[in-house]
Amino acid sequence: MSETTAEVSALIIQTLLANPKVPRDIDGGSKIVEDLAFDSLAVMNFVMEIEDSLDVSVPLDRLADIRTIDDLAACIVSLKHGG
């Protein structure tokens, strides 16, 4: 069964909330760098964790366009559907 953007976004948020340093009031519109205070290394580590859990690889050129949790979820769904 393929995941929807909302389902992937919920999984990303669940994964983020496992980190005690992440604010508790995040949602799909939360900005990964600004709202979560992730530096570039933290973003890469986080994306690798999501890639592993969802068995997908996000190319670096696509990663540059991702700003929010929903952006990341939409990118992952697109990649899983052959985009």
DSSP string, 57-75: ---HHHHTT--BHHHHHHH
d(CA 16, CA 79): 21
Domain count, the chain: 1
Domain extent, residue 60, equals 5-82
Distances (CA, A) of 79 to 4, 29, 40, 42, 71: 12, 20, 22, 22, 12
Express each pLDDT in 18-75 by its tens digit: 999 999 999 999 999 999 999 989 999 999 999 999 999 999 999 989 999 999 999 9
Q: Which is nearest to 76 in space by CA: 53, 52, 54, 48? A: 54
Residues facing residue 68 across a β-bridge = 31
DSSP state of 31: B
Give the Cα separation of 43 and 63 in Å (integer): 10
Domain containing 69 — which CATH number?
1.10.1200.10
Question: Residue 1's pLDDT is what?
Answer: 43
